[in-house]
Amino acid sequence: MTATTNRSYHAPGGLERAVIDLIRVGTQGHGAGVRQLASRLMRSVPAGVEDAESFRDAVHRAIAAGSGGTELRYVAGTVPTESDTAHPLVDIDPLPDGDGLVLSDEAMGQLTEVLTERQRADDLRRAGAGLTRTILLSGPPGVGKTMTARWLARSLRLPLLTLDLSSVVSSYLGSSGRNIKSVLDYAKSGPCVLLLDEFDAIAKRRDDDSDIGELKRIVNVILVELDRWPDTSLLIAATNHPHLLDTAAGRRFDRSLTLSPPAREQRLAILDYLAADLGGVDDETLALAAELTSGMVSSDIVRLWSLAHRRSILNGSTIGNELLSELARHLGDSGAGRNRLFLAMRDRLDMSNRQIAALAGVSHPTVASSIKRAEEDRNGR
Ligand SMILES: Nc1ncnc2c1ncn2[C@@H]1O[C@H](COP(=O)(O)OP(=O)(O)OP(=O)(O)O)[C@@H](O)[C@H]1O
Ligand SMILES: [Mg+2]
């Protein structure tokens, strides 16, 4: 089984949750947060709203009518800025959105454990066991590392502070150590989730002699902070290249979690979640798409879906058909998946063998024999 968050506004009780979230962000005086929530409500109209179209319109008009609004401090103290440019060093998201996160049971189990620890913090502290304060998230691009940080922050009802180490290290190397220290101090000053994104950036340039002194200092600053990070906040470091990290650095985290490209059931869960938003895509098409997206990472699947969605609107077709057509265009293999796809295109999209052949870039006899094999498989021969 795979888990998805149940916090979607589409789910029953969505309207109530939206109102509560709005109050929470509004009372904190965070204009940007309210606007962000409003655009999320337009994207994902809550269950309980009768006329989605006029709801979107009204929300849109309300946002437009609002004045510029001022950014408020979220955590105690002033947001640290780069000294020369006054550019904020850290991105603050008061209401991060991790809806629809799908991970393996193992990964989701670990995240749930982190949440349970926080619910039972008193028990753990009393027993002297302590909570998970720091997490190292590894995995290839597009598997959901940043999204996992958003999901955790959202589940813990904490703001998410993001520091992109690659940009800090590349643009202000001379003062990086100081800048990073000021962000870490700021994040420690109030409960929040701090994401150190592109964490390997501090390891990457080790070979470059001119930078080595400064980078060593940065690594030391962070290692010291990891050891004394307060359990009121959660520090998450994300990296695509865990092998670049010092093994010593890796071991300093309370938990280390590796995210992998989605297996078939997770690909299906992602597609199911996306389809639930819009409806109208049948289970068979979703199952076929889940099979044919083998090898894709989660972000590829979401992108593919968005493409199909846009095309379905422009072409007056259905998302399911656009999804299958797009997959046919990029199908490299000639296995059972392709056979079934061709069969589905003929039967459900009403396409001729020639049309399928042109779309998939194969000859039409190939299409004919693929379809024949799919029919034989279907009939259990
Ligand atoms: N596990 C997942 N479940 C559902 N959607 C996902 C998942 N992973 C990624 N996505 C989709 O892809 C988008 C990009 O993912 P995200 O930025 O979290 O990946 P990442 O692992 O941080 O990649 P990178 O290494 O490039 O930073 C997300 O906003 C989401 O739409
Ligand atoms: Mg990321």
Q: How far is the CA of 226 from the centre of ligand 1 (A)?
A: 25
Q: Which ligand is nearest to the CA of 147?
A: 1
Q: Give pLDDT, residue 56.
A: 82
Please write the tens of the pLDDT for every residue from 309-353: 999 999 998 898 889 888 887 776 667 778 888 888 888 777 899
146 lines ligand 1 (CB under 6 A): yes
Instruction: Report the atom number in ligand 1 closest to the C-alpha of 197.
Output: 27
CB 174 within 8 A of CB 214: yes
For ligand 1, atom 29, name the residue with the nearest CA: 147
Scan for tokens 């929040």, then name that residue: 192
Q: How far is the CA of 297 from the centre of ligand 1 (A)?
A: 8
For ligand 1, atom 4, name the residue with the nearest CA: 101
DSSP summary character for residue 261: -
Greater confidence, 77 or 187? 187
- Token pair for 195: 């994401």
DSSP summary character for residue 363: -
Q: Which ligand is nearest to the CA of 259?
A: 1
Instruction: Report the atom number in ligand 1 closest to the C-alpha of 103.
Output: 1
- Token pair for 91: 């991105």
* CATH class of the domain defined by 73-258: alpha beta
For ligand 1, atom 24, name the residue with the nearest CA: 141
Instruction: Report the atom number in ligand 1 closest to the C-alpha of 150.
Output: 18
Q: How far is the CA of 90 from the centre of ligand 2 (A)?
A: 15
Q: Is 176 exposed, middle or buried (0-12, 13-18, 19+ CB in 10 A)?
A: buried
Rounded to an integer, what distance in angstroms lies between the CA atom of residue 178 and that of residue 185? 11
Q: Which ligand is nearest to the CA of 267?
A: 1
CB 238 within 8 A of CB 199: yes
For ligand 1, atom 11, name the residue with the nearest CA: 299
94 lines ligand 1 (CB under 6 A): no
Residue type, 283: D
* Domain residue limits, the chain: 1-71, 73-258, 264-378
Q: Give pLDDT, residue 79.
A: 76
Enumerate the H helices of the chain as residue ranges: 14-27, 31-43, 52-65, 105-119, 121-126, 145-155, 165-171, 176-188, 201-204, 209-227, 247-251, 264-278, 283-292, 298-315, 319-329, 336-348, 353-360, 364-378
152 lines ligand 1 (CB under 6 A): no
143 lines ligand 1 (CB under 6 A): yes
Q: Per-residue DSSP letters for 91-135?
A: EEESS---TT--B-HHHHHHHHHHHHHHHTHHHHHHTT-----EE
For ligand 1, atom 13, name the residue with the nearest CA: 299
**Cα-flanking dihedrals φ and ψ of residue 134, to 5°?**
-135, 140
- Token pair for 245: 């990290």
The answer, yes or no, to whether residue 176 has pLDDT greater than 90, is no
- Token pair for 307: 């493409």
When mean pLDDT is compared across 107-116, 173-182, 203-212, the lowest value belongs to 203-212
Greater confidence, 205 or 292? 292
For ligand 1, atom 17, name the residue with the nearest CA: 146
CB 75 within 8 A of CB 82: no
pTM of the complete model: 0.79
Strand, helix or coil for residue 149: helix
102 lines ligand 1 (CB under 6 A): yes
Residues with CB under 5 A from ligand 2 (ion): 145-146
When mean pLDDT is compared across 1-10, 126-135, 242-251, the lowest value belongs to 1-10
270 lines ligand 1 (CB under 6 A): yes
Nearest residue to 140 via CA among 269, 241, 237, 236: 241
